[in-house]
Amino acid sequence: MVEMQMDELIDPNGAPRPLASAVMDLIARLGEDELRARQELAELDIQTMGITFTVYSDGQNIDRSWPFDIIPRIIEGSEWDRISLGLQQRLVALNRFIDDLYNDQRIIADGVFPADLLDQSVNYRPQLRGFSPKFGVWAHISGSDLVRDDDGEMYVLEDNLRVPSGVSYVVENRGVAKRAFAELFERQRIRPVDGYTDELNRLLTSLAPDGCDDPQIAVLTPGIFNSAYFEHSFLAERMGAELVEGADLVVGDDDFVYMKTIEGLERVDVIYRRIDDLFLDPDVFREDSLLGVPGLIRSWQAGKVALANAPGAGVADDKVVYAWVPDMIRYYLGEEPIVANVPTYRTMYEDERRHVIDNIGDLVLKPANESGGYGILIGSRATKDELDEAVRAIEADPRNWVAQPILSLSTVPTLVDEGVEGRHVDLRPFVLTGETSYVTPGGLTRVALRKDSLIVNSSQGGGSKDTWIVDGRYGSMYDSSPPDSPPRSSQSQSQSQTQRGEDG
């Protein structure tokens, strides 16, 4: 049961934590009316800029303004440095694991990872056996979800390695927060986040085929009806890359990829794809896909184009495989994990399955390959019929489920109808991995706007906050630049999906 939790800004005595004192003092001076006025201006900013997301409900697409709470979340810089190292460590191990699975499979031969788990993976692509992308990296862009328990420690809750979404909101949230609390940015040393697209551009450029020093980069989107189309267009615009759909591309007889333009075909060297594996290339995966490009995998394997993330990376984006990540770190790196996993029960094993079934009312049950908060059951809040149904689902397909304790997720003060109250949060930092690594300072803090709710996904009614990494050791790095003004022109998009939504 969730009874106690740590608040990120308020200590157990009700006083602001040291790093939060400036924020909480300002909120107290402003009073609730002025705070609500600033919140309304922030929401108007978001509407003006057309920052949207989509909720799928009963097969209908509901396009909404991005939900944003004006009160930031604050994390101390030295703590973040350790977490950042832990995330980089994690992604190095995960990429070695993926590369190993598609090649030698040493981790299976050595008895560290079970072969039958791989045999039953829905995201393993046997068509790619024997291939290794540049730098041996498959998951170039990842978003691992973190939560803080009541012991004050951050834990990795899950890894998103296929098409993690949300980084555009990290950047946009910062712009809105700077307009709302300009006086705080003048006094606080807050690490900037707007360098992400430069770092992404640098990573994608480094993936270009050998001899291509000035590559043409494209963002491949399923189109305007996809849940994350706002982000696709945002990233393409910020990087100066082309935003393309599958029908805009063709693979030539020379195996190079070309983009159709009014001036003829132009070669594309690097593709940041935001399409699921199975829709990428109808010649290799789903024959009925209209989203992909015939011959794309052939071109990639011939070294004529780079794909990020690499197809097949999703084999490690599996909530069952997640349970083995600490073992991967020890196996491939000979190190102990810097950031721990949440304890996880694997129902594929009889003893752990029995424990889950016997204690299901005290656990969170998750399907192996869903995203966006879909399919999650919180035992303490489920009805008897829902628990019985969950048990039947586990027994029918034990490989497809894991269970974790119900954590006392930390809270952050949030402006809600009742005033300023604590609401549960998680955090999704984004990690870029290639020849080197980059971690966003902070990430996307998602907040459950309903009291006591533990579901933070925007698709499930959650909102977001700006995340401030604050310290005094990086004098030239703090984010004191003025906010963008006026807001950019509207980019409002209507979205839905023909494939499952991105990992948002």
For the chain, the structural domain boundaries read: 210-304
Pairing of strands 411-416, 60-65: unpaired
pLDDT value, residue 456: 83
pLDDT for 225 equals 85
Question: pLDDT digits over 478-490, tens only?
Answer: 566 655 554 443 3
Q: Is this structure's pTM higher than 0.85?
A: yes
Q: What is the pLDDT of residue 199?
A: 97
The helix (H) or strand (E) run that includes residue 183 is helix 182-187
Tell me which residue of 161, 170, 314, 308 sits closest to 241, measured CA to CA. 308
What is the Cα–Cα distance from 384 to 449, expressed in whole angstroms? 26
**Per-residue model confidence (pLDDT) at position 260:** 97
* Predicted pLDDT at 476: 42
Question: Which residues are bridge partners to 404 per DSSP?
Answer: 364
Q: 486: cis peptide before it, omega within 30°? A: yes
Q: Given this model, what pLDDT does residue 153 score?
A: 95
Q: What is the pLDDT of residue 475?
A: 41
Contact in structure between 434 and 139 (CB atoms under 8 Å):
no
Considering only CA atoms, which of 486, 479, 488 is closest in space to residue 182?
479
CATH code matching the domain that covers 210-304, chosen among 1.10.490.10, 3.40.50.11290, 2.60.40.420, 3.40.225.10: 3.40.50.11290
- How many whole angstroms separate alpha carbon 134 and alpha carbon 381? 46
Structure tokens at 86: 């832990």
Distance CA 161, CA 95 (A): 10
pLDDT at 186: 83
Report residues of the chain scoring pLDDT below 70. Answer: 1-4, 55-62, 371-373, 459, 472-504
CA distance 316 to 350: 23
Which residue has tokens 């992404």?
200
Tens of pLDDT, residue by residue over 224-262, are 888 889 999 999 999 999 999 999 999 999 999 999 999
pLDDT, position 368: 87
The Cβ of residue 51 has, within 10 Å, a number of other Cβ atoms equal to: 27
**pLDDT on residue 492:** 34
Q: Tokens 């349970």 label which residue?
A: 323
Strand partners, 466: none
| 225 token code pair | 């009806």
**Looking at residue 491, what is its pLDDT?**
36
User: Token digits for 81?
Assistant: 């440095």
What pLDDT was estimated at residue 375? 81
Residue 484 CA to residue 178 CA, distance in Å, equals 9
